[in-house]
Each structure stands twice: as structure tokens, then as C-alpha cells.
């Protein structure tokens, strides 16, 4: 089958930066001092994803989001304006809204009834004349820079933040052909994991571990010929699906996972006349035909995007496992005080045909480690991560020994170093 090249997501290999080969010190994953440094010099300087814009379609709709020790209030203040505020009353520090989402005509603190407009400005202060020092109009909710892209709301604690599109470059251009704004959320959960946030990021930024932790995946993907692209801040790898790994013993076998992939693509594996090498192009053609039959325009996507995982990592902690008609989104959030704990957000999105009514939004659920199955592959990762974190705290362990196939991890640390050193 001839591969069709279209205008859209770039596929060319990025230039390889020099990253070095030294051990990555374990203290970056275990030290409270390093955790505090990350917070002050990195987390408070980068654009962070708050949530989905579709969760606040109407003026007055809002939701909250937490990052480290902070809580933020996201509100649609006007049809074309979304704002983000620290979720704290300037009077006595009470949180304005509990965790979750809702609708408000204004925001009233439940402690002393200070009231604020949707733009954060002061609306009403009970017994204002009793404040002998006065209550200036500037006594308002503390606002942070806020913007939208891809159907998501983003915020930045740095008042002098660069524009969001500059921060995302070049990945916004890479991902725009997928049209994330046309996707609907169908799964939304948070897991409390006993590991550092970077331990989790690392687990999803390399395929070197597939042969060890996920041997079943050798029957449906190529874990050897994976293109890795490292950009200024962000990175990606392109993982071919719909074929067996070069490590797999029978290179001609149409495995059961491949048969399942064919069925999901609309191909009857029982009547399929081709061999293993024919599966992937057949899946691509079937996926394109299925999308077009639903009125979904995938003309900006190349054929490989119809079968493969275009796996994008947005620094510091966002991952898009992107395919033509769906994506799996991960967000790693640091714990407020403990470097050995974190929050792992996992959401699944499906692309909606034009004019189709999206399914009801799933409720957000939260679990502790081991309370719910995430599916075989993610269960294998989640079982391993606390064991990795515990081992990192051993006096025998010095730091991460990174090979060439794991260089996305080393690249992430290089970007992190840039933030820590720039703030000195």
C-alpha cells in the first residue's frame, strides 16, 4: 500500500541534542528540598492544564483544579473569556469553592459572605464600614494568566508568562490536525500513587520496558523502530502499531491482539486473506474509510496516524497517546508536601462526528493505589511504580542510569534544569 503524505503533523526526525551520559541523581525524586525548588522555580513558571473547556460552556460555569499546595478556580466570565483565580478569599483565606464544578452568578465566600463578580472584582463586603483601614476595590480574587488551546483551559502562576502558543511550540502545530476540540471526554479518573510525579512521567516516556513489564504488547507493536523527537521543551515518540515486535518469535503470525485490532478497525479477521505484514495497512485503510463514513475529516492525518500511537509529552507532566479517532490523556501532579507521592489523572476522549451529540460527561472518580483496575497494561505500570520509588530511597541506589532509548527522560531533566538554573 502506498503511504499518502498530507499537510498536517510533521513526521521528519528532529535533530538530536547532546544530553550527556551521567547518572541522574536520585534526590531529584526523593528530596523535599528538590521538591520545593521545583515548585518555586518550575511549577509556578510553566503553563499547566486546568481542565476541559466544554465543562464550562455557559457564562458563570466554573470548575476547580488543584496543583501541589494550590487550588484554582476556573470560570467562564463572558462567552469568549475564561479566567483563572487562586481559589482563596483575600479576607481570611477561606476557599471560595469546594472541589468540583458548578454554576454561579457571583462567588460568595461562605465564611463572612465577601462576594466577588465573575471577573474576580469585589462586589459586596458585609459591614464594610467596620474596616477602619478600608476595603479597597483592589481587594479581589487573585487572578493568574489563563488561555485555551485544543479545547482545554490552561493557567500559569507567572504573571509575566509567555503566550501559551509560544510555550506549546511546536507541539500545538503538531497536534492541531487532530482537532482536539471535536473530542468528547468519556473517562475521567484520578489515582493516588506512592511515587514521585517524575517516576510516573518516566514510565510512559520510553518503550525500553515493554519487553519486561508488558510482554503481551510484543504481539501488536514495534518497540524497536520507534522514532524519538526531542524539541526545545517537549518531545514525542512515534510507536508503530498493527504489527509484531522484531523481538517476537514468529514474525509471520497474525496474533490474537492483531486480530482484535482488525476487528476494532472494522475488518473481519476470519475473512482476511493477508499476512502479518498486511494487517497494518489494512487497518489504516479501514480506519480512514470508517472516519469518512461518519463525516469525520481525517485528511490532515497521514496513514501512520490511523494506526500508530503518536505519543506527545508536553513539559512538565502532560501526555497525549494520540490516535486518529481517540486519545488517552495523562497528567501527573505533584503532591503538596511529599516527594514520594503524586496524583495521576487519566482521561479518555473520542472524536465526535460533526453534529453528533456527545455522550453524557462521565463523573470524575478518585481512587487510591490498587482500588480499581486500569486495564492490564496500566495495571502493570501502577503495580511497579511504588516499588521503583521505594527502591530509589535505598542507600544503595545512587541515580538513574539512562540508555539511548530512554533519552526522553534525560531530555526532560535537561529542560527542568533550565528552569531551576534560570531562576537563580
Q: In the predicted model, is pLDDT for residue 132 greater than 80?
A: no
Helix, strand, coil % over all residues of the chain, rounded to 5? 30, 25, 45
Tell me the average pLDDT across 74-100: 95
Q: If pLDDT is split at 50, 70 and 90, which confidence band does 35 have?
A: very high
Q: Is the pTM of this model over 0.75?
A: yes
Helix 276-293 and helix 256-265: axis angle, to 10°? 20
Tell me: the pLDDT tens digits for 286-334? 999 999 999 999 999 999 999 999 999 999 999 999 999 999 999 999 9
User: Helix (H, G, I), strand (E, B), or coil: what is residue 399?
Assistant: strand
- Judge residue 52's burial from the number of C-beta atoms within 10 Å of its C-beta, 0-12 exposed, 13-18 middle, 19 or more buried: buried
Tell me the average pLDDT across 26-41: 98
Tell me: the pLDDT tens digits for 177-204? 999 999 999 999 999 999 999 999 999 9
Q: What is the pLDDT of residue 137?
A: 61
Q: In the predicted model, is pLDDT for residue 29 greater than 90?
A: yes
Tell me the average pLDDT across 89-105: 93
| SS3 letters across 236-287 | EEEECECCCCCCCCCCCCCCHHHHHHHHHHCCCCCCCCCCHHHHHHHHHHHH
**Rounded distance between C-alpha atoms, residue 49 and residue 72, angstroms:** 11
**Average pLDDT score, the chain:** 94
User: Do 359 and 186 form a contact (C-beta atoms < 8 A)?
Assistant: yes
**Rounded distance between C-alpha atoms, residue 290 and residue 303, angstroms:** 13
Tell me: the pLDDT tens digits for 363-412? 999 999 989 999 999 999 999 999 999 999 999 999 999 999 999 999 99
Q: What is the pLDDT of residue 135?
A: 67
Beta bridge partners of 71: 66
Q: What is the pLDDT of residue 5?
A: 42
Backbone angles phi, psi at 395, to 5 degrees: -65, -20
Q: What is the pLDDT of residue 313?
A: 98
Domains in the chain (CATH in brackets) are 1-46+182-424 (3.90.380.10), 47-157 (2.102.10.10)
Residue 40 DSSP one-character state: I
User: Do 73 and 97 form a contact (C-beta atoms < 8 A)?
Assistant: yes
Which helix (H) or strand (E) segment holds residue 153: the answer is: strand 152-156
User: Helix (H, G, I), strand (E, B), or coil: what is residue 177?
Assistant: helix
Beta bridge partners of 67: 70
Q: What is the pLDDT of residue 111?
A: 83
Beta bridge partners of 191: 344, 367
Which residue, 118, 56, 102, 66, is CA-closest to 87?
A: 66
Tell me: the pLDDT tens digits for 137-175? 667 899 999 999 999 999 999 999 999 999 999 999 999
User: Do 51 and 329 form a contact (C-beta atoms < 8 A)?
Assistant: no
Strands, E, within 35-80: which ranges? 47-52, 61-67, 70-78
- Compare 133 and 32 and report the one with higher pLDDT: 32
Q: If pLDDT is split at 50, 70 and 90, which confidence band does 4 have?
A: very low
Q: What is the pLDDT of residue 422?
A: 84
Q: What is the pLDDT of residue 2?
A: 39
Amino acid at each position: 500500500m502506498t503511504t499518502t503524505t498530507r499537510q498536517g503533523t510533521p513526521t521528519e526526525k528532529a535533530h538530536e541534542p547532546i544530553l550527556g551520559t551521567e547518572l541522574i541523581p536520585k534526590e531529584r525524586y526523593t528530596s523535599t528540598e528538590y521538591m520545593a525548588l521545583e515548585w518555586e522555580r518550575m511549577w509556578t513558571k510553566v503553563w499547566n492544564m486546568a481542565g476541559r473547556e466544554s465543562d464550562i460552556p455557559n457564562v458563570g460555569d466554573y470548575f476547580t483544579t488543584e496543583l501541589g499546595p494550590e487550588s484554582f478556580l476556573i470560570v467562564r466570565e463572558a462567552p469568549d473569556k475564561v479566567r483563572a483565580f487562586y481559589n482563596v478569599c483575600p479576607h481570611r483565606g477561606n476557599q471560595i469553592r469546594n472541589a468540583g464544578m458548578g454554576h454561579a452568578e457571583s462567588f460568595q465566600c461562605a465564611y463572612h459572605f465577601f462576594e466577588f463578580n465573575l471577573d474576580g472584582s469585589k462586589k459586596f463586603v458585609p459591614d464594610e464600614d467596620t474596616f477602619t483601614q478600608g476595603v479597597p476595590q483592589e481587594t479581589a480574587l487573585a487572578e493568574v494568566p489563563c488561555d485555551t488551546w485544543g479545547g482545554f483551559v490552561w493557567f500559569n502562576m507567572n504573571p509575566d508568562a509567555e503566550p501559551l502558543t509560544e510555550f506549546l511550540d511546536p507541539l500545538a502545530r503538531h497536534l492541531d490536525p487532530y482537532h482536539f476540540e471535536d473530542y468528547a471526554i468519556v473517562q475521567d479518573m484520578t489515582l493516588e500513587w506512592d511515587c514521585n510525579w517524575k517516576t510516573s512521567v518516566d514510565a510512559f516516556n520510553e518503550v525500553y520496558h515493554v519487553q519486561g513489564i508488558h510482554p503481551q504488547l510484543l504481539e501488536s507493536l514495534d518497540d524497536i523502530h520507534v522514532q524519538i523527537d526531542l524539541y526545545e521543551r517537549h518531545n514525542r515518540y512515534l510507536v508503530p502499531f498493527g504489527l509484531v515486535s522484531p523481538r517476537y518469535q514468529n514474525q509471520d503470525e497474525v496474533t490474537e491482539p492483531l486480530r482484535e485490532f482488525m476487528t476494532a478497525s472494522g475488518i473481519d479477521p476470519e475473512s482476511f486473506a493477508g499476512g502479518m505484514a498486511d494487517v497494518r495497512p489494512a487497518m489504516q485503510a479501514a480506519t480512514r474509510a470508517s472516519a469518512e463514513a461518519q463525516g469525520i475529516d481525517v485528511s490532515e492525518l497521514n496513514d501512520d496516524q490511523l494506526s500508530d500511537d503518536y505519543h506527545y509529552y508536553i513539559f512538565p507532566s502532560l501526555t497525549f497517546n494520540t490516535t486518529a479517532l481517540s486519545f488517552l490523556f495523562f497528567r501527573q501532579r505533584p503532591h503538596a508536601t511529599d516527594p514520594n507521592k503524586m496524583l495521576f489523572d487519566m482521561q479518555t476522549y473520542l472524536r465526535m462526528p460533526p453534529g453528533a451529540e456527545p455522550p453524557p460527561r462521565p463523573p470524575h472518580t478518585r481512587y487510591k493505589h490498587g482500588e480499581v483496575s486500569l486495564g492490564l497494561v496500566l495495571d502493570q505500570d501502577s503495580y511497579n511504580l511504588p516499588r521503583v520509588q521505594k527502591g530509589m530511597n535505598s542507600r544503595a541506589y545512587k541515580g538513574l542510569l539512562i540508555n539511548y532509548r530512554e533519552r526522553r527522560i534525560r531530555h526532560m531533566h535537561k529542560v527542568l534544569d533550565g528552569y531551576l538554573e534560570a531562576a537563580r
